Structure 1
Amino acid sequence: MSEWQSYHPDIQVILHEATDHELALAFVHRRLNVILITEYMRPEGIETLPVYREPLCVALPSKHPLRDHDRVTAGMLSGEKILVQDWDRSHVIRDHYRALLGPNAHLEAHPAGKQGLFMLVSAGYGVTLSPISQTESGFPGVIFRPLSGTNAHIQICLGWSPQCQDPATGRFVAFVRDFMKSREPPGRSGLSAGGEKPGPSP
């Protein structure tokens, strides 16, 4: 975003935070131009471009027995109460946790933000999962350990409507696509960050 701003300081960017259901409605009613979403939250009828992959961590109370481990596996969380963000008509995070941790995972739903869940973890009400970027500033009474496993990550994607005719949106999507290509390792020309061929510009 900082590079986009430096190249296009004249284009206004307004940030909206919403659930997947609210994002889908916003796209239907053309209230949003682009969205950043995880791959498992993808609304129907949009084009996506993988942008980056982020590891997941386990947030634990600071005196939790698992604090002595460098990494935590899904099996080590058996019997733990897993706090998860969940809202009416928006259950994709809960469903993703269950797929990641297994059908017997003890999930407890909370219609709250991540900072609210960290507060509950600090007070000893359970543990939660979090992208590593949300752990860097820390939280009082909470420690973080990397989650092990081949699927212990989230894929962040840029999404846009293929029907969108807004010139700024097309420029932004093309800018992000070119930026991702510039960061590809040798031998992966023509592939996006997630290893998929990007679709055509809107």
Structure 2
Amino acid sequence: MIDLRQLRYFQAVAEDLHFGRAAARLAIAQPALSRQIQQIERELGTPLLRRTQRRVELLPAGALLLERSRSIQQELARTVADVRRTGAGELGKLTLGFIHSSTYGLLPSVIRRFRQLYPGIELELHELPITTQHAALMRGTIDLGLLRVQAVPAELEQVPVLADPFVLAVPARHPLAGRERVRLKQVAGEPFVLFNQAEAPLLHDRVQALCEQAGFQPHVVQRATQLHTMVGLVGGGLGVAVVPASARNLHPKQVRFLQIADKAEPLQIALAWRRAHETPAIRSFRKVTQDVAAALTP
């Protein structure tokens, strides 16, 4: 079987149609080059060149080998370049799970920037709840998860990228709507819209704990799962709600968002992946996400 070195030798002779010039280009002795061409012809079982004292001509078999050898060299060059780009995190495919609320601010900016910097990486997106992302990461059906920080299985790595503090959402005509900052006890007796515990346990439990810390049990009149639903219900006058500050990016006309004076640890948006499976593409996405998150942090 002929190898790439022999193909390179043949290509030089076939292009120059002169053994002397081809040997000089390859920096080898002319007799050695002639022996290599003869060995190729013996290996293939057919002559490739017609040699006379005055000239060298390509035979049909030689013309075909020249055409194919050029294609092989070009494909090899592309392969080497693609392998290097893949190793550098510039080429490949990345499957990302994300929570719905990340689409209000962080995720669109990250995707836009990532596609500008890494057009060679195909990005496949799947909207998934947090616990579903954990399971998908462990199965390997997604490579990376954009989610809120909570306890993860030991097989997963998790890195916070953006803080998302809690704010109080009130109807635009609420008596407190003109304030910038309030304490939760100021709405202790009011109707609350609260996250559904079964479908949004992290948010439900954190808001419930904040209210208890402020000295009251929220009077829940409606439960919801999605952030835009919560904000819409508040805008409709159904009650007040404690929500992540990223809800501001929805820009609802009938809702005001007030800072909460009570001590409250912010939610954290994080990236998660399988431990020991951080690929170059994951590292590239992580770097872009951290840079975008830093730019979004006040």
1:17 and 2:127 matched: yes
> Given the two structures, how large is their TM-score scaled by the length of structure 1?
0.74
SS in 1 for 2:186: helix
Report the alpha carbon displacement of residue 147 of structure 1 after superposing the two structures with TM: 1.9
> What does residue range 57-96 of structure 1 map to in structure 2 within 5 Å?
57-86=167-196, 88=198, 90-96=200-206
Structure with more relative contact order (C-alpha pairs < 8 Å, separation 6 or more) = 1
Distance 1:35 1:11 in 2: 17
- Contact 1:49–1:177, Cα closer than 8 Å, also in 2: no
2:195, 2:223 within 8 Å by CA — same for their partners in 1? yes
Q: Structure 2 CA distance, aligned partners of 1:68 and 1:140? A: 14
Count of matched residue positions in the alignment of Structure 1 and Structure 2: 181
- Equivalent position of 1:118 in the other structure: 231
Superimposed CA distance per residue, residues 142-185 of structure 1 (whole angstroms, 9 cap, x where no aligned partner): 22212223325222222111043644224434x358849xx6xx
- Deviation string for 1:23-59 (max 9, x for gaps)? 22222322221122222x3432321112121332211
Q: Return the letter of the residue paired with 1:168.
A: A
Conserved? CA contact 1:84–1:107, under 8 Å: no
Instruction: Determine if contact 2:157/2:275 at 8 Å carries over to the other structure.
Output: yes
Provide structure 1 residue ranges, at least 5 long, that are not aligned to the other structure.
Answer: 184-192, 194-202
CA change 1:80–1:13 in 2 (3 A) is farther
2:158 corresponds to 1:44: no
8 Å CA contact retained: 1:60, 1:144:
yes
Trace 1:43-192 onto structure 2 (pairs within 5 A). Answer: 43-45=152-154, 46-86=156-196, 88=198, 90-102=200-212, 104-106=216-218, 108=220, 110-151=223-264, 153-164=266-277, 166-173=279-286, 175-176=287-288, 179=291
C-alpha distance in 2 between matches for 1:177 and 1:17? 17
Q: Please say if residues 136 and 142 of structure 2, whose CA atoms lie closer than 8 Å, have aligned partners that are also in contact.
A: yes
Report if the CA contact (8 A) 1:87-1:111 is conserved. no
Q: Secondary structure at the match of 1:63?
A: coil
Q: Residue in 1 aligned with 2:117?
A: 7
Instruction: Give a deviation string over 1:63-121, Cα, whole Å, max 9, x none.
Output: 21221322122222312333223253651211111222226431646343122122211
What SS class does the counterpart of residue 124 from structure 1 fall into?
coil
Kindly provide the amino acid, as one letter, of the partner of residue 242 in structure 2.
Answer: L
- Over 3 Å counting, the alpha-carbon distance change for 1:85 and 1:167 in structure 2 is same
Q: CA deviation at 1:11?
A: 0.9
What are structure 2's unaligned runs of at least 5 residues? 1-109
Q: Is the 8 A contact 2:182 2:260 kept in 1?
A: yes
Q: Do the aligned partners of 2:231 and 2:247 also contact (CA within 8 Å) in 1?
A: no
Find the counterpart in structure 2 of residue 196 from structure 1. Answer: none
Amino acid at match of 2:170: L
Query: Highest CA radius of gyration, 1 or 2?
Result: 2
Percentage of matched positions with identical amino acids: 22
